[in-house]
Structure 1
Amino acid sequence: MTRNRATLIGLTAVVLWSTIVALIRGVAEAMGPAGGAAMIYTVGFILLCTTMGFPRPRAFPRAYLYVGGVLFVAYELCLALSLGYATSSRQAIEVSLVNYLWPSLTILFAVVFNKHKASALIIPGVLLAFIGVWWAQGGAQGLGLAGTLANVRGNPLSYGLAFAGALIWAAYCTATARMANGKNGATLFFGLTALAFWIKYLGGADTAMHLDVSVAVQIALAGAAMGFGYAAWNVGILHGNIAVLAVASYFIPLFSSALAAVMLSAPLAAGYWNGAGMVCVGSLLCWRATRS
């Protein structure tokens, strides 16, 4: 496989992952936050098994298996439930931007905990990413504290889960870099995530599932976006141009928001787009700060 072809395959993962916010929200509206996510991650697990093989737990280092597994499942729970518990499709998109703080946080954690070298550019990068989230939540007024606080107070559970997810995924990327020994446990962790959602659905008070053709298509697409996205990304980072893939991945907040706004019929204010752009630029600055 040529490097350009592998890079192109890796870039398809960026496109696939950009559809996840809209698809998870759409399925959650019909099947409930936990039930919808359980179906999506089950499909994703099956597709990953077909593309990457059935996982064997003994093949992974124990520290990676336990710590990585817990962090991975916790992140996916936070992500899906933050979108599912949003009060509207528009709020789900706004909440998703909080989750996209993880790229800048990951680089910050790598510098602090893994002793990676970075220039002073990382400071404005992290600050810009956080200001971008703040700006986006302010609505049409932009950098408005009142609008931001009103959004968060209106649904602290969704916003809290999204921010917790950003912290958890940054911790996952930082910790597993030292534990994995080159192993990729995504398939196994997807199966554990699906199991966690089924336990939550069966043991909770989630709404009854209403499955029809439209919802089934969304479940299949969401599962494919996750399953094939991880498989495509794995090819890209192993054989493609990592720098190109990294830069493209930092624009997922914009791609994801644009697709979600169209797919969910949820127009967004200009202030949101300004904030989303700041999050992307902030992540790029953090990434640039660590480039030797």
Structure 2
Amino acid sequence: MPSQVTRLRATMIGATAVLMWSTLGLFGAASGGVPPFLLNALCFGIAGLGATAWLALRGRLVLMRQPCRVYGFGILGLFGFHFFYFTAIRNAPPVDANLINYTWPLLIVVFSAFLPGERLKIQHVAGTLLGLGGAALLILRGDGLALDGDAAPGYFAAVASALFWSGYSVLSRRLGSVPTEAVAGFCLGTSLLSVAAHLVFETTVWPQGTGEWSAVLGLAAFPVGLAFFVWDIGVKRGDIQVLGAFAYTAPVSSTLLLIVFGFGDFTLVVMAACALVTLGALVAAKDMLFGRFTKKTGGVAAGERVEE
């Protein structure tokens, strides 16, 4: 990453993570019957090793040398989110668990108000709520919430997954001096913990054939790889509230990709969800779109430089 980056550019870089996460459904569907924690271990392992090799070739491996507390934070954030998410969808109706989990963008927007130099504006809240409405419409598809009492552990796990990812994203801002290169170590640590979880909870099923292995490599390259590096840039140096609202484009984009590749149909519900999420993102990014970033104490105005 360049040594200097503007707030606007950092926001745009971070937004590419959301676009990459929209391919999760497509690549996941093509990866066959590989159990979640094993898939997690493979993808984070490949991504971490690839990033480490790239840093070594560029002579930047030294940037991965960080205090244990930094690695503890990063690994706990990445692994904790995935652990609780997989636990949620196994112990609660997947639709309900997915919807509860997708409160994390809203939580990012709310929690960001407590960051130094940040101020929560009405358009951030309104835009994020519109996005949540669009995601809910898409996920529920008219089925409604089941809220089965026997699935309470799964619901709690879904809440935990949302809290882990929103907490990781917001608190990353407080570690602005930690270089993004350290994310390579986060990925490697997450892979190791995922191996342990796989051995405890799952039966091993490896990818079969070139197609499934290609899907695993696609996951490792983008939604379970590069996405976490660009997200780190975005949440540390960009407009975290705009990123939170924009995150609701992920379930919509994912659905549209599945439709394009023949895994679903384009319906009025999908169209309405697209409209709500798009409107929400536009509302939340009003200041950015019209170039009216305001200079905040400890914050950065558009066009100003942020030193790494």
TM-score (norm 1): 0.71
Change (3 A) 1:58 1:190: closer
Q: How many residues align?
A: 278
Change (3 A) 1:167 1:111: same
Change (3 A) 1:231 1:68: closer
1:189 CA drift (Å):
1.0
| Match in the other structure for 1:190 | 187
CA deviations 1:33-58 (Å, max 9, x no partner) are 22222222222222222334486697
Change (3 A) 1:127 1:14: closer
Give, as a single letter, the amino acid of the residue that structure 1 aligns with 2:213: A
CA deviations 1:163-182 (Å, max 9, x no partner) are 53333221112112113424
1:231 CA drift (Å):
5.2
**1:208 and 2:205 correspond:** yes
| Match in the other structure for 2:255 | 257
| Match in the other structure for 1:116 | 118
- Alignment match of 2:109 (pick from 97, 104, 107): 107
CA deviations 1:89-146 (Å, max 9, x no partner) are xx67x9666545433321211104546212223332343333333333441x4xxxxx
| Alpha-carbon distance in structure 2 between the residues aligned to 1:236 and 1:113 | 15
Look up the SS of the partner of 1:275 in the other structure: helix
Which ranges in structure 1 are unaligned for 5 or more consecutive residues? 142-146
Pairwise CA RMSD: 4.4
| Alpha-carbon distance in structure 2 between the residues aligned to 1:252 and 1:233 | 13
Indicate the larger mover: 163-172 or 123-132. 123-132
Identity rate, percent: 18
| Match in the other structure for 1:16 | 20
Which ranges in structure 2 are unaligned for 5 or more consecutive residues? 295-308
**1:75 and 2:84 correspond:** no
Q: Is the 8 A contact 2:41 2:191 kept in 1?
A: yes
CA deviations 1:175-198 (Å, max 9, x no partner) are 121134242231111111111111
Change (3 A) 1:86 1:255: farther
TM-score (norm 2): 0.68
1:67 CA drift (Å):
2.6
1:257 CA drift (Å):
2.1
Change (3 A) 1:136 1:155: farther
